[in-house]
Chains A and B, each alone.
Chain A
Amino acid sequence: MFDSSSIIVGLELGTSKVCAVVGEVGEQGMPNIIGLGQCPSHGVRKGEIVNASQTEEDIRNAIVEAEQMANAEIRSVFLGVSGGHVRGFNNRGVHPIVSADREITEEDLQDAIKNAKAINLPAQNHVIHAIRQHFIVDDQDGLTNPVGMLGSRLEVDVHVVHGSLNRLQNAIRTVKGLQLEVEDIVFNGLASSLAVLQRDQKELGALVIDLGGGTTDYVVYAGGIIKHTGVLAVGGDHISNDLAIGLKVPLGRAEQLKLEYGCAILDDSAKGQTIDITNDFGLPMKTISLENLRRIMWLRLEETFELIRRDIEEAGLFDYLRAGVYLTGGGARIPQVAQLAESVLGLPVFVGRSHSLSGLKSALDQPEFATAIGLVRFGANRRPKQKRKPLVQEVAETFRHLLGRR
């Protein structure tokens, strides 16, 4: 049994699956993935819970599986959230430095960030993240850590991700109903990007698109910082639904057809081909056209990428994406989806693998686990690194604290 404080668990309540990933923080602070549990999700639509009791059951199954695999007890999780209500935008906070020596302290920094968070959002909205981008001291731009510098006016640019409080609370309450602590909530798109991107890719500028079951989340990095986030409440579920309507087959069958015959690109090879659907006894029931199936899928996926492209163009960030586009989520498994994304976005497109961590190879290689793995990474960054110090030093520090000296 591990000491549970060194265990970090990422829990994603997805539209197609509930997934828990267990990571163990090593000596150097980088997590190592040691467990994975998943369960098909039944109570989530478009990234939001519609059936709480069913979701609770799914979470329980996933957690139990993860506990068994990691041989650890899970007490708290980092919870991934998404949904059409989540929005991101950039904001600036200002804080005047009033101390006599004009030195910028950590408190000033926190005050500036607090000011940046105080935006005129509707009362029922909750700020999920306020990610600092740059500090500006007396119009000197581009500072990453101004503590200890001198100045009279400290400004900070933050990227704020916010969502509807009630809907976020729904997910948190469901998890808490299972006697699990929620340490923090994290935007799914951000988590995916943490799993997939290395430092140099963030510096060069990259777009991470998480093609989930119910939502498509995307995050833009440029110059090492998060510049833009967005959510489209469109995902793999929509493809299945389109197929069900277009081919006039039941939803379950549409899902199956998507997995078996689906492809992101419509090419000549599909022309004139047909698929025979058989019933439970193996008797032919219906014949559908492969071309129609592919066309419906292609149109939906192309539209999704088109909407993302338009959004990023409007944000003026298209020229910053020099490292290319990374696809994660179950949608990244659709054959030739990278090719389609390349043709729509005009950038090199890769299927993202979680290279930034170590551990279970089977989990890290799958794009659909990127979000949960990223949650573990987020948790590792968030938790203070606890190094065991010699007893003498610890006692000395306690006394120094009591005396109020720094």
Chain B
Amino acid sequence: MSPLQAPGKQSGLLSAATVPKDPHMNAISPEPPAPTITNEPRAVSTLRVFGVGNAGVNIIESLLHKGAGSTDLVAVNADGASLAASAAPVKLHLEPKLLRGLGTGGDPERGRCAAEENFTQLTDACRGAEVVVIVAGLGGGAGTGISPVLARAAKETGAMVLVCSVTPFECEGTRRQRQAQFGLEQLRAVADGVICLPNQKVFKLIDQHTSLLDTFKAANELLADGLRGLLCLLGRQGLMPVHPGELCALLRGRVGESALASVEAHGPNRARDAAEKLLAHPLLDGGQALASAGPVVLGFYGGTDLSMADIQRVVEQINRQCENPQMLVGATVDEAFRDRLTVTLIAARREERAVGTENGAVTDAASRARPASAIGDDTEFLSMTAPTRSRTRLVPPAPTLPLEQVEQAFARQNGTGGRPRKVTSRLRQGTLPLDVVSRGRFDKTEPNIHRGEDLDTPTYLRRGLVLN
């Protein structure tokens, strides 16, 4: 569409959308189906998953391979090549003129421009969905730039927005990290719930010889697994349903990373196996994530033979690891899942203190991403045309924060609040090659988890001491 047309359409849409704020009210009111989406909403609460950026599209791809059930998958990217390779049923190619088919070139501002230009297209794509899940890899151009705008577009159609974001590896450079942090702040301001998973954790899964391709694949697989569990939890009318609103309420306002893990177990002992697998899950740091977790969401997905005792057994195991659990449990039964059990766990870090949003840059980011109704239509209109100003070949520098602010933000992100226990966990990373040492004579016994540390592992290993 031409940029001249866009503003008029948007403002009309806005005035219509600002009135009903309650998403449920809006979902009931009949809306004409969007032209790009051919699927009719069929589940009770319609889920739509958007994979944004290269990483997002890849994760969607993995999800598609695993079988996503009755969810609509949409791939959104500024890079045509990535979309062409994708098998997603619906694809949205956002391409402003200045990109010349080359993607965003790692610049979130360009991604943002592209998204703002095609805002109506995004709104149309979101229409009809009750819950919009945005999957994006932050740090690059498309994921960081497009997803906040997409989240806002989804909010305007009245959908509830849940974001699953992946932050880059630490070795990918500070610029990407900073961009990711910035994107995360923007997303937090506009989305209902943000689940943030640092890629760095995947390092625990791989050895020195794993190729780059396999590393990203492993990361995608893990996230797709978790995501599938999450979708099952939200998408199907369960026996013990978890309402998306409840989930978002738990996740809202959480700072720092969360953990999303999903495991599957078979056989008669599946409850015990599932609990064990969960506790050993690499994304949960061997239970350490649970010890520092505030709210914990557990989703069960099993056959008709799923028993209450199974659920209780797993919940109890998890409960024992958490210090003050605020637990939300959901269960879904599917005939095809006989003798199988999938358990999905979402753990958000406990609130330590409020985010220091008093500094200018962050509030700026937040207000830029905030929905229109908060500011008023006119100002929103202005702020929406503002990004076109930066249509220049010059690559603007990454969003700037004072150095100590950046450090603070990362400290918060990694959960290193200066407490001594966290330092030991950080030190432990240095001794990863030694981690192949088994627990010796306690190998087969129940793990001895105490405040997130397995006491059966020798103390000197946990303290990261190297014996000469």
Contacts of A299 in B (CB 8 A): 459-460, 463, 465
Return the CB mask of B453-468 against A: 1 if under 8 Å, else 0: 0011011110101011
Q: Are A245 and B448 also in contact (CB < 8 A) when A295-B460, A300-B458 are?
A: no
Partner of B448, one of A84, A302, A303: A84
Contacts of A233 in B (CB 8 A): 448, 455
* Cross-chain contact A303 with B440 (CB below 8 angstroms): no
Contacts of A307 in B (CB 8 A): 450
Find residues 422-468 in chain B having any chain A CB closer than 8 Å to their own CB: 437, 439-442, 445-446, 448, 450, 455-456, 458-461, 463, 465, 467-468
User: Which segment, of A197-205, A234-242, A342-350, faces chain B?
Assistant: A234-242
Contacts of A50 in B (CB 8 A): 445
* Cross-chain contact A242 with B459 (CB below 8 angstroms): yes
* Cross-chain contact B465 with A46 (CB below 8 angstroms): no
* Cross-chain contact A234 with B467 (CB below 8 angstroms): no
* Cross-chain contact A232 with B455 (CB below 8 angstroms): yes
Q: Once the chains are docked, how many angstroms separate the CA of A295 from the CA of B465?
A: 10
Partner of B440, one of A122, A232, A251, A292: A251
Q: Once the chains are docked, how many angstroms separate the CA of A234 from the CA of B449?
A: 11
| Interface membership of B407, Cβ < 8 A | no
Contacts of A296 in B (CB 8 A): 458-460, 467
* Cross-chain contact A251 with B459 (CB below 8 angstroms): no
* Cross-chain contact B459 with A232 (CB below 8 angstroms): no
Q: Once the chains are docked, how many angstroms separate the CA of A307 from the CA of B463?
A: 15
Contacts of B448 in A (CB 8 A): 46, 84, 233-234
Find residues 259-317 in chain A having any chain B CB closer than 8 Å to their own CB: 289, 292, 295-296, 299-300, 302-303, 307
Q: Once the chains are docked, how many angstroms separate the CA of A20 from the CA of B127?
A: 76
Partner of A303, one of B437, B456, B459: B459
Judged by DSSP, the binding face of A is helix
Judged by DSSP, the binding face of B is loop
| Interface membership of B40, Cβ < 8 A | no
| Interface membership of B316, Cβ < 8 A | yes
* Cross-chain contact B458 with A46 (CB below 8 angstroms): no
| B459, chain A: closest CB distance, angstroms | 4
Return the CB mask of A242-256 against B: 1 if under 8 Å, else 0: 101110000100000
| Interface membership of A45, Cβ < 8 A | yes
* Cross-chain contact B441 with A251 (CB below 8 angstroms): yes
* Cross-chain contact A46 with B440 (CB below 8 angstroms): no
* Cross-chain contact B456 with A238 (CB below 8 angstroms): yes
Contacts of B446 in A (CB 8 A): 84
* Cross-chain contact A295 with B440 (CB below 8 angstroms): no
Partner of B445, one of A46, A234, A240, A295: A46
| A227, chain B: closest CB distance, angstroms | 21
Q: Once the chains are docked, how many angstroms separate the CA of A242 from the CA of B437?
A: 11
Contacts of A241 in B (CB 8 A): 439-442, 456, 458
| A230, chain B: closest CB distance, angstroms | 11
Q: Once the chains are docked, how many angstroms separate the CA of A90 from the CA of B135?
A: 48
Contacts of B450 in A (CB 8 A): 232, 307
| A41, chain B: closest CB distance, angstroms | 14
| B396, chain A: closest CB distance, angstroms | 50
Q: Are A295 and B467 also in contact (CB < 8 A) when A46-B448, A242-B458 are?
A: yes
Chain A interface (Cβ < 8 Å from any Cβ of B): 45-46, 50, 84, 122, 232-234, 237-238, 240-242, 244-246, 251, 289, 292, 295-296, 299-300, 302-303, 307
Chain B interface (Cβ < 8 Å from any Cβ of A): 316, 437, 439-442, 445-446, 448, 450, 455-456, 458-461, 463, 465, 467-468
15 sample A-B contacts, Cβ–Cβ < 8 Å, listed by A number:
A45-B442, A46-B442, A46-B445, A122-B316, A232-B450, A232-B455, A234-B448, A238-B455, A238-B456, A242-B458, A242-B460, A245-B440, A292-B467, A299-B463, A307-B450
Q: 10 new A-B pairs (CB below 8 Å) besides A233-B455, A245-B461, A289-B468?
A: A46-B442, A242-B460, A244-B441, A245-B437, A246-B460, A289-B467, A292-B468, A295-B460, A299-B465, A303-B459
